[in-house]
Amino acid sequence: MLILSLSIPACRHTPNPATTQSSSHRIVCSFLPMYLFTTAVVGNTPDFTVDLLLPSNIGCPHDYELTTADARRLADADVVILSGGLETFSGEAIRRINSKAKQIEAWTGCKVIADTGDEAAHDAHDSHLHAGNPHVWLSPIEAVREVENIRAGLAAAYPDHAVDFDRNAAAFTAKLKSLQADFAAARPTFKHRNIVTMHDAFAYLARDLDLNVVASITLNPQQEPPPGRVAAIVATIKKEKVPCLFTEPDVSAALASTIAREAGVKVHSLDPLTTTTSKPAPDYYEQRMRANLQTLKESLQ
Ligand SMILES: [Zn+2]
């Protein structure tokens, strides 16, 4: 133990959690936003590995089922960070793989929005129908709550490092508050407020900005919309005078352009922050959320 602890300072300035496989503390995060928030809280604290569980190219992970590779990653985790409501594998499925891992649901205490009630968007297999809309991380206000829950959960799991987590969480929360201020400043400025999105990820962002999501094409971006859905959406866009359609990086461009062409509106893209092609920079969350805000400002004038 002594030898190990003496060797730690050398690692202090190489915060590359994915490659420090010898770390004795292992945290696994369910999907990208949880990885972004957790790496912000852990920061350069030595001797920690923070891993992303789900592949970062699958988009919003509705109804995801764990693979054997996921099970290997979970097997030696001390802590698993989940957002909540979205991860159908939380609880028992993880306990079967690793009964000792502490599971933290970051959305605890968030002001959860009920599911849309738009039955046409629901699929019979949707598992979060009664838990509420799970996409809380797309509100900078709810993101602060998630970061606080992650901080508190990690401080309880690793009390020796609580001071580091407190300091890092405070610094990241200050950045989220600055983001909140930008959102608050933009809130009164939109000329159009009715929006249509591909899946129901943006209800929280819309609430922060006083926008109305009049329709979402599906609750699950991995599934084709049910029959008749496209025609219903086109009708809604025309009736509600929605100025454009917001697609997402993970959604079929053909589907979005078909709807937009039939409705006679333009397509813009909002990022639900569930996909990345490379290792995200420390300010990835703020950057992408500011890009979303900019897209909304430009397209709803
Ligand atoms: Zn989603």
Residue 85 Cα to ligand 1 midpoint, Å, equals 10
pLDDT of residue 222: 74
Note the pLDDT of residue 253: 84
pTM for the full predicted model: 0.88
Tell me the CA–centroid distance for residue 2 and ligand 1, in Å.
46
Q: How far does the centroid of ligand 1 lie from the alpha carbon of residue 37, in Å?
A: 18
Distance 173 CA to ligand 1 centre (A): 24
- Closest alpha carbon to 135 in 220, 255, 251, 43: 220
Mean pLDDT per 10-residue interval, the chain, length 301 residues: 36 41 86 97 96 89 92 96 96 97 98 72 47 95 98 98 98 98 98 94 97 88 83 95 92 88 96 90 96 98 91
- Name the residue among 235, 237, 260 with its Cα closest to residue 247: 260
Predicted local distance difference test score (pLDDT) of residue 21: 52
Centroid of ligand 1 to alpha carbon of 45 (angstroms): 31
Q: In this predicted structure, what is the pLDDT of residue 278?
A: 85
Which domains are present in the chain?
Answer: 21-182 (3.40.50.1980), 189-299 (3.40.50.1980)
CA-to-CA distance for 116 and 200, rounded, in angstroms? 8
